[in-house]
Amino acid sequence: MDKWDRRFMELAGVIAGWASCYKANRKIGAVIVKNKRIVTTGYNGAPAGIRTCVERGECLREKLGIPSGTRHEICYAVHAEQNAIIQAARLGSSIDGATLYCTHQPCVLCAKMIVNAGIRRVVYREGYPDEFALQMLTEGGVELERFVED
């Protein structure tokens, strides 16, 4: 990892602090970078106009006993990676060939979007219990690197 990876991972951590997830360990941030320039950012949170879990005072997944890494659709939040990709589409910014920096390994839903968006590299810090996501990224030709502090 070089100094640019370090800088963009640091920024992903800052952006994670903006997340509206009720669970502190699930505040996730993402930064999409192309040619050492930030294209978009994203964090996990409810879609515009929808009350967040923080506003509701509870985590729906926790309330229903849904284990981490499963049933991604049962959640008010849009994932950080998804929000960053959506933001690029809304702004008309190409992310083909870009690198996505994320605080956590993407789930399978995000992995599919990453492959189809043309993102070529994903750098993440924390693992996530989703082996199928790793398979999707590998088969889709996305380079996956775990960021480890020196």
CA 130 to the chain's CA centroid: 14
**Of 39, 20, 15, nearest to 104 (Cα)?**
15
CA 107, CA 67: separation in Å to the nearest integer?
13
Q: In the Cβ-directed half-sphere of 25, how many Cα atoms lie within 13 Å? A: 5
Concerning whether 81 is annotated as a catalytic residue, the answer is yes
List the catalytic residue out of 55, 58, 62, 81: 81
Residues with catalytic roles = 81
